[in-house]
Chains A and B, each alone.
Chain A
Amino acid sequence: MSAARTVVSLERMRDVQPFHAGCLKHFAQAVAYVAIGIVLVKWGTGLPGWQDVIASENGPVERMSAAIWFMGFIWCLGAAFSQRNRAIEWLGFAMFLLLFGLRELDAHVWATGWNLDKVANFWNPHYPLLERLLVLGFLIFPCLIVGLMLCSRFWKVAGRAWREGEAWLSHLILSLGLLVLCVSLDKVGPYGLLFIEISDSGKVFLMILEESLELILAVFALVSLWPYLQVAFLSDESPMGIRPRS
């Protein structure tokens, strides 16, 4: 099984939008959906300020982001079950969506007692060595292996996909760009830039921006996967037992 087969067959089976237009259209849809959603949540929950809705810990926006990541995880598992010949790709996606969901809920902090995001913590003797080794062995290395496997599968077809304007590549590039932006804002927001002091209101603005972008990223990821999920659930690709409906 190769990624080329997966991508080509999926692109042919769905009327996916052409390259840049489809990607930007989906991004615009995700932004509009999130904007309307946040306004509805503020109106529906009756929380006093925008900061309480968007930037509060375990607030509505954070809960929505986590829920959409977990929803993506479950749907990708279902797709892996339904489309067995592409199970490896679906399971790889599922694993990363689960990690994003757990990261949104700060599971890595409350489950271990220390922040796995900080690379320096892996050298910190304050935390038990056995725990750090367990995190490396059971979380970091498996993620690296799955990530490298997915990269190698998609790298083989990336050049052709770029030339032919296949939609999945532009969606993937935009998602990765958004992810980098969210991580950067997450690191900059609470602490400020290296040489620039950020005021309290500036930090709040950065937190609001970061949480909103995280929700947009979660929605955009699901929007990008949606045509492929539909194909996985609704098309029967098994060679045996096919009985046409009409």
Chain B
Amino acid sequence: MRYILMSWGSWVGLVASGVVWGLPRMPHYQDWMPYGYKLGGIALVVMYLSFGLGSLGVYSLVAGGMGWGTTVTQNRKIFRLGFTALVLALGLGWSYMKLMSLTLQLW
């Protein structure tokens, strides 16, 4: 289990499946976003950053929680990093919603 969670394949797969199946199902998602309105393009970039932060956050919480770090201090540090990354990911997800609803109002 630890080997799977520490491998790149798991986290790349998580993010890839997120953008292939998750992103088109997000509220307000439109295929033409970046090309129809610049604000939509910014919203899309924000959402991609949110996926990256989400993966880093979950990895860091798992790594810190399961004690993969070399020291206790490091485990606490990476746990804090993961928590911060997840909060930022949620914030960016919220920003995506606001930017997209604004884009659709302006369109």
User: Which residues does A use to contact B, with CB under 8 Å?
Assistant: 33, 37, 41, 44-45, 58, 60, 63-64, 66-68, 70-75, 78, 81-82, 101-102, 105-107, 110-111, 219, 222-223, 226, 230, 233-236, 238, 241-245
Residue pair A110, B38 in contact (C-beta under 8 Å): yes
User: Which residues does B use to contact A, with CB under 8 Å?
Assistant: 6, 8-9, 11-13, 15-16, 18-21, 23, 31, 34-35, 38, 41, 44-45, 48-49, 51-53, 55-56, 59-60, 63, 67-75, 77-78, 81, 85
Select which of B35, B56, B71, B77 is within 8 A of A74 by beta carbon.
Answer: B56
Select which of B21, B55, B74, B81 is within 8 A of A71 by beta carbon.
Answer: B55
Residue pair B56, A234 in contact (C-beta under 8 Å): no
15 interchain pairs, CB-CB under 8 A = A45-B20, A64-B19, A70-B45, A71-B55, A74-B49, A75-B56, A102-B45, A110-B41, A222-B8, A234-B63, A234-B78, A235-B69, A238-B73, A242-B73, A244-B71
A residues less than 8 Å from B9 (CB atoms): 33
Compute how far the CA of A101 lies from the CA of B48 in the bound complex, rounded to whole angstroms.
9
Chain B at the A interface: SS class: helix
The answer to whether A68 and B31 touch (CB under 8 A), given A78-B81, A82-B78, A243-B71, is no
Compute how far the CA of A75 lies from the CA of B81 in the bound complex, rounded to whole angstroms.
11
Chain A at the B interface: SS class: helix
The answer to whether A106 and B74 touch (CB under 8 A), given A67-B16, A78-B85, A233-B63, is no
Residue pair A236, B41 in contact (C-beta under 8 Å): no
Closest to B52 in A: A74
Compute how far the CA of A70 lies from the CA of B12 in the bound complex, rounded to whole angstroms.
11
Select which of A73, A101, A235 is within 8 A of B70 by beta carbon.
Answer: A235
The answer to whether A107 and B72 touch (CB under 8 A), given A68-B15, A74-B49, is no
The answer to whether A64 and B20 touch (CB under 8 A), given A234-B69, A236-B74, is yes
Interchain Cβ contacts within 8 Å, total number: 120
Residue pair B71, A236 in contact (C-beta under 8 Å): yes
Closest to A112 in B: B38
Select which of B13, B15, B45, B81 is within 8 A of A82 by beta carbon.
Answer: B81
B residues less than 8 Å from A64 (CB atoms): 16, 19-20
The answer to whether A70 and B70 touch (CB under 8 A), given A33-B9, A78-B81, is no
A58-B31, A71-B51 known; 13 other A-B pairs, CB under 8 Å? A64-B19, A64-B20, A67-B19, A67-B52, A68-B16, A70-B45, A71-B15, A72-B52, A82-B78, A107-B34, A110-B38, A223-B8, A243-B72
Residue pair B48, A67 in contact (C-beta under 8 Å): yes
Compute how far the CA of A145 lies from the CA of B12 in the bound complex, rounded to whole angstroms.
30
B residues less than 8 Å from A234 (CB atoms): 63, 68-70, 74, 78
Compute how far the CA of A67 lies from the CA of B60 in the bound complex, rounded to whole angstroms.
19
Residue pair B34, A63 in contact (C-beta under 8 Å): no
Residue pair B34, A106 in contact (C-beta under 8 Å): yes
